[in-house]
Amino acid sequence: MSQTTRLFIATPLPEDLKEYLTGQADRYKHEAIRLVPIDNLHLTLYFIGNVPASQLEAIQEVTAHMAQQFAPFTLQLEAIEPGPKPRSPRLIWARFKSHDAFAQLSRSLTQALSAEPPLSREPKPHVTLARFRKDKPVPHHLESFHPHHPVTLQVHEIAVWHSELGSPHPRYSIVQRYPLTGNHSEGKAV
């Protein structure tokens, strides 16, 4: 039986943004909601899942290559709210405005690292702040929060992350960081 590792590609968040998002997530404290620890906050580009540990080096090479193709870009926070479906939410997320460069980078990573073609739907830039517990009823009438001043995330690097399942939360750690150094930019926020 080969040894496996659980991996994903994501952008690390700066400490000030993590503190801001954690502070805003406090408004959703409820017995049915489990807040994500501040050290676990990140912006996912592609979730790989369990792979043989022997594939780590190839995944790192692909990620490094992608980072060299894309220029840094900026995302703007749109809302903190239940999602992804407002009528049947599974989590509380910080949803950023759609951005062509994010969508293209996410799709490119998916295409390069997945055996399956990328989904046709637009990747949504977001940070998961909390998850609903499966053993409790979902609370109703959860409000959306829209920032009163611009809150942005400068995406200037991506990283390969390791996920170790645990209770009550998984533990995430960065395996390797890669700065975005390319000139491939797909436009401004839509």
Is 96 within a domain? yes
**Global pTM?**
0.88
Q: Check: CB of residue 170 under 8 Å from CB of residue 80.
A: no
User: What pLDDT score was predicted for residue 187?
Assistant: 42
Q: For residue 156, what pLDDT band results from cuts at 50, 70 and 90? A: very high
Task: Flag whether 92 is in a domain.
Answer: yes
Q: Is residue 190 part of a domain?
A: no
Q: Using CA atoms, how far apart are residues 118 and 29, in angstroms rounded to an integer?
A: 35
Q: Report yes or no on 185 lying in a domain.
A: no
Average pLDDT over residues 83-87: 81
Residue 75 domain-assigned?
yes
* One-letter amino acid of 82: P
CB 25 within 8 A of CB 89: no
Q: What is the mean pLDDT of residues 102-129?
A: 86
Q: Count the domains in the chain.
A: 1
Give me the domain span that covers residue 63.
4-179
> For residue 30, what pLDDT band results from cuts at 50, 70 and 90?
confident
Q: In sequence order, which ranges of the chain are alpha helices (DSSP H)?
A: 15-25, 56-69, 100-113
Q: What is the pLDDT of residue 184?
A: 60
Q: Which amino acid is at 16?
A: D
Residue 138 lies in a domain: yes
- CATH of residue 60: 3.90.1140.10
**Nearest of 51, 65, 180 to residue 111 by alpha carbon:** 65
